[in-house]
Amino acid sequence: MTFESSPAQPPQGPTPLSPQEFKATVEGILTNVEWVIEGKSHTIKLAIAVMLAEGHLLLEDVPGVGKTQLAKALARSVDCSVRRIQFTPDLLPSDVTGVSIFDPEKRDFVFKPGAIFGNLILGDEINRASPKTQSALLECMEERQVTVDGNTYKLRSPFMVIATQNPVEMEGTYPLPEAQRDRFTARLAIGYPDVNAELALLDRREEYNPLDALRPVADADMIVRMIAAARAVHLAPELKRYVVDLVTATRTNAQVRLGASPRATLQLLRCTQVLAAMDGRDFALPDDVQQLAVPVLAHRLIPTTETTMGGGDTKAIVSDILRHVPVVSNPGRF
């Protein structure tokens, strides 16, 4: 596998994907991942949606609930190149992006691609790396390309970064700057499994690690086709208006210092399309938007100091906005 100056192939001639095929594939991935992470189908669904929306996922939760397991299971279910980067304080930007080294045989510098050159990048404990390394990763995430020594290398498609972050452990960590959190399409928390799920987890793991038994149910091509299919989902003007209203509401909310960006609007719509397609529909509904609003918007908001000190969090703010923004901006069509 060489990466030298090889730009990622443009998406192949789109083979139309029927909604049924789309749904079946998604369900395959879902079943696969659920085999590893019990009782978290909604979270898994959202994670898949982020993948198909060409977004990046930030998993933020306490240690041991399966952040890495989820990322790994998702990666295994799709037959594509998976790279894992364990972020440590001494990790350097070149470890992520790659580096040019002198090849004495060719008497020239040769680019050694870093870990970022894969389809699925699993960035564990991203907040342990120094800010400059984080920045290197984040640039790749947004631009989908790497520039080293004046040469630009396109990243592969599909390309998705799943980063995990531990919110409780603060010592020796470098929390992601607010502006950079914006690069992640969604932030998900997994949460503790309920009693039955935990029991099932114990049973399943008695003999072997279920992760090892996973077989891929889709390949990179399939994912590319699915991404294309999702982009074709119809977005009604009323729905776009609703999304814009929601995002605008985050900007005018009194509890928020910094609202969601237009990028948030775009990504929310992309995820909405995917969620609609996952439901077998070719048009998006406000219900899709509402499912996504908290994961997509909450981590981008910066609450005011008063809100933070009052114990408020941005998830509650977004939920509140959802309760108050009318689905149709002029409900009184009398």
Partner 1 sequence: MNGQRHATLVAAATLALTLTPLIGVFAGLGWTVPVLMAITAVAVSGSLMRAAGRGQGLQTLAMVGSLLVIMTAGFNGGTAIALIIPTPATFSHWGELSGEGIQQIIVNSPPVPAEGGILFLTMLGVGVVAILHDMFVVGLRTPALAGLTLLTMYLVPVSVAPEATAWFWFILPAVAYLWILADDNLRRVSSFGHRFTGAGHLVGQHFPSPLARTARWSAAGFIAVTLLLLTVVPTNTSGLIDNVAEDFGGTENYSLGDVNPWAQLSGSLNRPEEVDVLRVTTTDPSPRYLRMHVLDELTDDGFGPNDYSGGDDADGLTGAGDDEQVFEAQIENLQMEAPVVPVYGDPVGLDIEGDWQIDEDTGVIVGDGSDMGDVDEYTVTYTEPVPATETLAGAAGMDPSDERWESNTDHPDVPELADTVAQATEGAGTVHEKVLAVLAYLSPANGFRYSLETTDAGNDQAILDFLETREGYCQQYAAAMAWMLREAGVAARVVIGMSQGSRDGDQWVLTSHDYHAWVEVYFDGPGWVPFDPTPASGVPGSVGFPWATEPDTDENEEVNEGDPSAEPSEAPTDGATAPTDASPGAEENPTDDPTALAGGDGGAGATRFNPAWLALLLLLALPLVPALWRAGIRRSRLGPGRLSALTAWDEATDLALDYGVAIAPSLTPRQAAGVLAHAAPGARDAATALGAAMAQQRYSPRGAAIGGLADAVRDLHSQLDKAAEPRRRYRAMFWPASLAVKLSARQAEQSADMARRTARTADRMRSAMRRARRSNSRRERSVTGRP
The binding site for partner 1 (CB under 8 A) comprises: 234, 236, 238-239, 281-287, 290, 322-328, 331-334
Report residue 120 as tokens: 């699925």
Closer to partner 1 at the Cβ: 228 or 235?
235
Least Å distance between CB 271 and partner 1? 16
Burial of residue 20 (number of CB atoms within 10 Å: 0-12, 13-18, 19+): exposed
For partner 1, which is the closer residue by CB, 8 or 325? 325
Q: How far is the CB of 284 from partner 1 (least distance, A)?
A: 6
Alpha carbon distance, N-terminus to C-terminus of the chain: 63
Identity of the residue, 84 or 281, whose beta carbon is nearer to partner 1 in the bound complex: 281
User: Minimal distance in Å, beta carbon 293 to partner 1?
Assistant: 11
Nearer to partner 1, 215 or 323 (CB): 323
Query: Is the CB of 220 or the CB of 327 nearer to partner 1?
Result: 327
C-beta of 228: minimal distance to partner 1 in Å? 18
Tell me how far, at minimum, the Cβ of 320 lies from partner 1, in Å.
10
